[in-house]
């Protein structure tokens, strides 16, 4: 789960804290940030990149073998595995799409959160002894820039309503 508070955003967070006393209702802003982060996280499944821009590692040969689909043939009324067809690399982190479908967002006046209830998500996010990490949660440079744009638009709207 990725939880963003003003403390996590550096200069952006400092600006948010300074403005929070004078802004009426920050919940729409935080809802926008949560939506932005959820969409960014979903896009990582398409681009297969971590928040820092690095590519996710491909499947190891043992995982490719484990997830390969058997191609069956029949000879003398006996069925046997003739070959193994490897899964497409496009299926990386999307074999069942359960993790992708489980992504949710939550926002309050002080919090924007993106997460999942899938128990194996931390294994992908942080890795294990046998599995390399494929981080999906986090702030990219583009996310930070987009949050600044949202903040700018929100403050402008608040100013115009005053």
Report the predicted TM-score, pTM, of the whole model to 2 decimal places. 0.75
Give the model's pLDDT for residue 73.
Answer: 84
Residue with tokens 């069925």: 79
DSSP H or E segment with residue 158:
helix 141-161
Give the model's pLDDT for residue 133.
Answer: 92
Give the model's pLDDT for residue 18.
Answer: 64
Give the model's pLDDT for residue 128.
Answer: 93
Low-confidence ranges of the chain (pLDDT < 70): 1-23, 87-95, 162
Question: From CA 15, how far away is CA 133, in angstroms rounded?
Answer: 33
Give the model's pLDDT for residue 70.
Answer: 78
Residues 107, 112, 114, 119: is their CA dihedral positive or negative?
A: negative
């Amino acid at each position: 789960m990725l939880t963003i508070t003003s403390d996590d955003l550096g200069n952006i967070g400092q600006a948010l804290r300074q403005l929070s006393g004078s802004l009426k209702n920050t919940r729409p802003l935080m809802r926008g940030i949560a939506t932005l982060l959820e969409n960014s996280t979903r896009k990582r499944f398409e681009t297969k990149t971590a928040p820092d821009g690095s590519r996710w590692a491909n499947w190891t040969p043992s995982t490719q073998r484990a997830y390969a689909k058997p191609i069956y043939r029949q000879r003398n009324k006996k069925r046997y595995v003739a070959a193994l067809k490897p899964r497409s690399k496009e299926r990386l982190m999307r074999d069942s799409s359960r993790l992708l479908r489980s992504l949710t967002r939550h926002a309050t006046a002080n919090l924007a959160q993106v997460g999942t209830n899938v128990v194996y998500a931390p294994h992908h996010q942080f890795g294990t002894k046998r599995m390399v990490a494929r981080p999906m949660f986090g702030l990219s440079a583009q996310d930070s820039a987009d949050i600044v744009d949202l903040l700018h638009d929100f403050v402008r709207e608040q100013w115009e309503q005053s």
